[in-house]
């Protein structure tokens, strides 16, 4: 498992999205890509795209799949997988496994977001949030509460605004007349995760809900500028999540998996598209950037390898890559 890193680019994006919380269609897509290599669609150990001009290869030092990466600075970054958390303090030359994360044995890491070199927020699949303010020496653990009256609340992604403030995006389910309805929700904490207030709520529809409308990633450059991804669309709010506008729609075969913003105008986006309709396990992964608030997007990385997401810290941009 390795990561690609580019330095000297503009902006300060921090967060990235985990594949473990992505809906089954996305997981199947990535599993199919891996199986394609094993079964001979691609030569074993060979990638269609090993060279990335302007990007440096960073070896993670683990054979486990790294599905999240978050850079707090040009030298300090974190990477995570299903049950693993890694940290580098030398720009990715060396990665050290973190052994004291207070996560339950049955749980797994869903999303991470760094704030500077010392603070990291870790979202677990169970809704637990683990956070360190001293570079991983010690951790606190809080539980995101269920929304009152809901039959289920799941947080899909998190974006940290400061050491004590964060936004979470997910889905709540409510029952009415024997029918279960899914709502997209955004919550905010300003007190280290002790309590959360509802920032936004929108009806997605009665179950079963189309997975294309589920939120998969959120990134904020401040209290008012928020970008979010819903697999087939990219949306943006400039008023803290009160109102939203669609800034990108993708084709029927393309999935948007991750976004991370620098400011209200600059953001990085990760998409995946099958190369051939008759062979969906061969995919093209793309990282795109906008500098005009989503009016236009420019590709900055194209590869046949399975990129898991995108992260940007001051002076450095990193993506975890699973080469075949």
Across the range 115-127, mean pLDDT stands at: 94
Does the structure show a pLDDT above 80 at 13? no
The structural domains of the chain, ordered by start, are: 2-322 (2.120.10.30)
pLDDT tens-place string over residues 228-243:
998 889 999 988 888 8
Binning pLDDT at 50, 70 and 90, where does residue 282 land?
low
Name the pLDDT band for 214 (thresholds 50, 70, 90). confident
Question: How would you list the strands of the sheet with 279-290, edge to edge?
Answer: 255-261, 267-276, 279-290, 298-303
For residues 278-305, average pLDDT: 79
Residue 55's pLDDT is 67
CA distance 300 to 268: 9
Q: Which positions ≥6 away from 58 have C-beta within 8 Å?
A: 2, 3, 4, 5, 88, 91, 92, 93, 318
Longest dimension (CA), the chain: 57
Specify the pLDDT at position 39.
28
Torsion of CA 38, 269, 228, 146, to 10 degrees: 30
Specify the higher pLDDT residue, 55 or 195.
195
């Amino acid at each position: 498992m390795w990561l690609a890193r580019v330095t000297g680019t503009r902006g300060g994006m921090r967060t990235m999205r985990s594949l473990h919380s992505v809906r089954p269609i996305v997981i199947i897509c990535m599993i199919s890509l891996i199986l394609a290599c094993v079964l001979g669609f691609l030569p074993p150990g060979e990638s269609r795209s090993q060279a990335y001009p302007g990007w440096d290869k960073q070896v993670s030092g683990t054979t486990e799949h790294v599905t999240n990466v978050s850079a707090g600075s040009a030298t300090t970054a974190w990477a995570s997988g299903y049950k693993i958390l890694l940290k580098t303090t030398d720009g990715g030359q060396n990665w050290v496994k973190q052994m004291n994360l207070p996560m339950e044995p049955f749980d797994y890491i869903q999303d991470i977001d760094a704030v500077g070199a010392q603070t990291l927020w870790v979202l677990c699949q169970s809704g637990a949030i683990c956070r360190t303010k001293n570079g991983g020496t010690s951790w606190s653990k809080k539980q995101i509460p269920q929304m009152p009256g809901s039959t289920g609340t799941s947080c899909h992604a998190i974006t940290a605004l400061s050491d004590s403030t964060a936004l979470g995006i997910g889905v709540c389910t409510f029952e009415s007349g024997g029918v279960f309805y899914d709502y997209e929700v955004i919550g905010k904490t300003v007190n280290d995760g002790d309590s959360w207030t509802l920032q936004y709520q929108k009806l997605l529809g009665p179950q079963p809900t189309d997975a294309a409308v589920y939120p998969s990633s959120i990134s904020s450059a401040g209290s008012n500028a928020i970008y979010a991804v819903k697999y087939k669309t990219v949306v943006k709010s400039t008023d803290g999540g009160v109102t939203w506008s669609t800034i990108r729609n993708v084709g029927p075969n393309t999935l948007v998996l991750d976004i991370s913003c620098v400011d209200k105008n600059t953001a990085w986006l990760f998409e995946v598209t099958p190369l051939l309709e008759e062979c969906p396990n061969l995919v093209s992964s793309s990282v795109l950037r906008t500098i005009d608030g989503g009016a236009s997007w420019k590709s900055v990385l194209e590869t046949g390898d399975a990129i898991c997401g995108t992260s940007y810290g001051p002076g450095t941009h990193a993506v975890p890559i699973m080469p075949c």
